[in-house]
Structures are given as C-alpha cells and as structure tokens.
Amino acid sequence: MKSKKAAAIVRAALSIRKSKLVKPRKRYLVFEIIAISGELSNIKRSHVEEAIKMRSQHLFGFLGYGSVRPSLIYYDESEGVGILGFKHLWRNHVFLVLSLIRDIGGVKVIVVPVATTGTRRKAVKLAKKA
Amino acid sequence: MTADLCFRGVVDEAVAKHAYRFGYRAIASREVDSVREVGGVRVVPRYELSRDTVDKHRNVRGLKVLLVSSGEDLKFYPKLSGAIDSVKIDFTQLTSLSKDFLRRVIGLKTPVEIEFAEVLRRILSGDSIDYYHLLLRLYTRGKLEVYVCSGAVDLPSLVHPTAMHALISVLGVPEGLAAKAVFKVPRELVVNTV
C-alpha cells in the first residue's frame, strides 16, 4: 500500500500519467438527410454509403478511414433517415464527415445528426420516430 | 441560444428555418444593418472593420469584428478596447506570426474568430493549419478566447453546431472548451453587443 502511494507521488511529481486503456464502445448515430434541390427518393442506400466512404477517405485518408470506418446500418429511402454505426472514439470524426456531405447522387443535401445512442434498438426506434 | 456569427449570405426564410432546426437562435450577417427577426432567428448586423474604420463605428449597434492582416493593425491595442467585439486574423495575408503579434492579440482580451469553412478548406486543399493549431493551443491554455462560426454563404453550406464542435475537438481542444467556443462565447457576444 505504502509503495503504491509512493509511486503515485513520484508519478505526479514527474507528471507521468498512467496510460488508461479505453475499450472502444459501439455507438449509433441517427441522422436525417434534407434535400435542398431534387427528390429525396432519388437517393439510394448505396449512394449514401458511397458518399460517407468518399468523404471519410478524403478527410482522413485510407488509414484514417480504416480506423473510423463508419457503417451504414439502416437507411429509409422514403424518409431520408439513417443509422450510422461507429466506435465511440471516433464520434467527432463521424460528425465532421457528415458535415462535409453536400451532394448525394446528384441531389443537393444537408445531413443533420439527430441523436447518438448506445444500442441499435434505441437507434431504430429514434429513426422511425424522426 | 446558439449563434452563428459569420454567415456570409442573405438570411431568408429558408435559411432561417433550417438554422432554427439546427439550433441557431441568432445569426450575424453583413447583409443587414439593423437587428431583425426572421423565422424565429434573430439576425444581427456584422461589421468587418479595418483599423482605420474602427473609430467611425464606435457607436454602431451590432457585432464589430476587427480584420487583422499584419502586426501594424494591432498597434496601440489598448485604444481598441470597447470599440470592437472580436478579432479575425487573416492568415492568408499574415506573413509571419511573431511573439509580439501574439502578445498584442492576447492583450486585446477580445475573442478571436475561427471560421469553420476556412479551416476545412485549408485542410482539404492541403494548406497548413499551423496558425489555427497555435490559436487553439493558446485557447486551451486559457491565454485567449476563441469562438467558432460557420462561414457559410448559402443554405447548402450551413453547418450544424456539432460539426464545428467536432472540428476543434479533432484539432486537440478538450470537449468542454470546444463546447464553450461553439455555444457559450458566441451567445455572450450576441447578448452583450445587441
């Protein structure tokens, strides 16, 4: 016990922090696509997936995309609501990627993040409500 | 109340509607000369001033931003206190960022504006963002105040506040301070100036 306390004091004095291993947790982002010009129904799931992939690679490169790797879990083509799965460590990166998407399948759009949840079931519930 | 303090286009009904949906309750725009309400969003005049025009706008109601492109613009900076609300540093014209220049920016004690669209444009075009890193580092250490605004020109380029928060978080600012730069500082500026 005493040695632990001493180690903590030494660590504090040298300002060495004990590195904490953070377990990546799953997160689900519910988002909504608002069409500004063109029809929302023209946007297919594959278009959304492609847009997210292209923007991620553009912003973070292939290596960054490999780490962030957002996956489109659900997309309602009639409502323009979708769910994106990712790890909690990359939440800000995913928000940034969504803000870069201005055009999907030739339709000018704005992508609005609605909510982030920890379970898929809750995310689907929110997506159906949005 | 979230505020976007550097909207570069005309705030019409469509822009106001979407801005309201994004959570914005105030927008500062150069296109208006008096405070007005559009679709539930308060539109505030924004004046981008050079050092020579600051005195003329001393009693004007609105957000007064000093455009700084060299160290000369911040000479005798204590005279500027009370005349301007924020500072925008033009990094495209600034040739060098000296210690003296930073001392003046810190001494001014007014928030420094960081434009989301400008930072993102620089990142995507491969230009350096070292100066922004430096400003954010100073902000993290509590040396100066910073706020982030969208720099949008029209409806498609309108940005959700979480995206701005995400950008400066990715650039190394702690979450709490990032939230302050996106939500608290702009709100205080709007409340105090208008």
- Best B148, B160, B173 member to test A by mutation, with max A CBs in 10 Å, is B160
Tens of pLDDT, residue by residue over B25-79, are: 999 999 998 999 999 999 999 999 988 888 888 888 899 999 998 888 888 878 8
* pLDDT of A1: 58
* pLDDT of A16: 60
What predicted TM-score, i.e. pTM, was given to this entire model?
A: 0.88
pLDDT at A10 over 80: no
* Residue-number span of the structural domain to which B162 is assigned: 2-193
Contact (CB<8Å) A102/B157: yes
Low-confidence residues in chain B, pLDDT < 50: none
Both tokens of B139, joined, read 């902000």
- The structural domains of chain A, ordered by start, are 21-129 (3.30.70.3250)
CA distance B182 to chain A (A): 14
- Best B15, B129, B154, B170 member to test A by mutation, with max A CBs in 10 Å, is B170
* pLDDT of A17: 60
Residue A116: closest CA among chain B residues belongs to which residue? B162
**Contacts with A106 from chain B: Cβ below 8 Å:** none
CA distance B82 to chain A (A): 35
CATH of the domain at B101: 3.20.20.140
Among A106-110, A123-127, B79-83, B86-90, where is mean pLDDT lowest?
Answer: B79-83
* pLDDT of B72: 81
Query: Do residues B47 and B63 lie in contact, with contact meaning Cβ atoms separated by under 8 Å?
Result: yes
Q: Which residues of B touch A (CB under 8 A)?
A: 18, 21-22, 120, 123-124, 155-160, 162-163, 165-167, 169-170
* pLDDT of A7: 75
Query: Do residues B9 and B168 lie in contact, with contact meaning Cβ atoms separated by under 8 Å?
Result: no
The rounded percent of chain A whose pLDDT value lies above 90 is 68
3-state DSSP call for residue B68? strand
Per-residue confidence band for A13, with pLDDT thresholds at 50, 70 and 90: low
Average of pLDDT values for A52-76?
A: 92
Contact (CB<8Å) B156/A112: no
ipTM: 0.88
Rounded CA-CA distance B67/B88 in Å is 5
- The count of domains in chain B is 1
Give Cα A102 distance to the centre of its chain: 17
CA distance A5 to chain B (A): 29
Please tell me which of the candidates B124, B155, B163 has its beta carbon nearest to residue A36. Answer: B155
* DSSP-derived secondary structure for B145-170: -EEEE----SSTT---HHHHHHHHHH
* DSSP-derived secondary structure for chain A: -HHHHHHHHHHHHTTPPPPPPPPP-EEEEEEEEEEEES-GGG--HHHHHHHHHHHHHHHHHHHHHHHH--EEEEEETTTTEEEEEEEGGGHHHHHHHHHH--EETTEEEEEEEEEEESSHHHHHHHHHH-
**Contacts with A112 from chain B: Cβ below 8 Å:** 21-22, 160
- Asked if the C-beta of A88 comes within 8 angstroms of chain B's C-beta atoms, the answer is no
Average pLDDT, chain B: 91
